[in-house]
Amino acid sequence: MDSKPDATPRLQFESAIESTESADSAAEGRALAAVICGACQSAIPDAYFDVNGTTVCESCQAEIARQAATPRGLGTLALAAMFGIGAAIAGAALYYAVIAITNFEIGLVAIAIGYMVGYAVRKGAGGGGRRFQIVAIVLTYWAVGLAYVPLAFTDSSASRREQAQKEQAGAAVAEPANADPDNGGGRRIGFGFAAAMLLGFTFVLPILAIVGSMPSGLISGAIIAFGMHQAWRMTGAPQLQITGPYQISPNPSSAS
């Protein structure tokens, strides 16, 4: 009588057969042990750097350090100043429009001027640094003074009209005997001298406005300081904490 073959699998100990599950687990462990650059997303084979808590490869670390360095050269500084002057003029026009319409100085507008000037200076320089911070805060202060110029001339014209009306209502003013009818009683001022005087006036005007309207002038001073602080922040050099290189173990599974 023939017996049926036993279908139960038998265990054997003669040869070792690698388990599929253990092979997959080992491959997964090797994949997890691979170090990936946080900048270019490529695998780092040998050594890595830490930049502000981010793991990067050697080439990306060098590029980050190069971009964070303060740009050098007078040409770069001049280009940054030109960009900043354009932004300061635009910011002054915005500031004057807001004051003329609302009759108030709004701190957010001063901060916006600081942002505009800081962004323009940084764009022209291609980076940040202490020299560009100084340029940015000077131009932000100048933009506020430039915005005050039309207001100062408007107030001066109103004062002159009021004074003229008072003089007309009173006694007639005698004409000076030594006045020269040919030159209008004065000497002509050159364009360069007038431009220099106007430029100096724009820098002095914010101080005069603050001092002349105390104690409410403290609010104007604080608003100007807010704008200058924003420009200073916008043009600062990046703060990098770079450590390394750290070597990667050639056999990450040896510890296990």
Residues 165-218: pLDDT tens digits?
565 656 554 455 454 544 444 456 677 777 788 778 788 888 887 887 788 778
pLDDT per residue as tens digits for the range 39-89: 888 888 888 888 888 888 888 888 888 777 778 888 999 999 999 999 999
Report the distance separating Cα 117 and Cα 122, nearest Å.
9
Residue 23's pLDDT band, with cuts at 50, 70 and 90, is: very low
Report the distance separating Cα 51 and Cα 63, nearest Å.
12
pTM: 0.63
pLDDT per residue as tens digits for the range 117-128: 999 999 998 888
Query: DSSP of 213-248, one letter per residue?
Result: TTTTHHHHHHHHHHHHHHHHHHTPPP---EEEEEEP
- Burial of 16: CB neighbours in 10 Å, binned 0-12, 13-18, 19+: exposed
Instruction: Please say whether the beta carbons of 83 and 198 come within 8 A.
Output: no
Mean pLDDT within 104-116: 84
Q: How many residues does the chain have?
A: 256
Tokens for 153, please give them: 């001339």
What are the sequence ranges of the domains in the chain? 74-161+194-234
Tokens for 59, please give them: 């080439």
Report the distance separating Cα 51 and Cα 54, nearest Å.
5
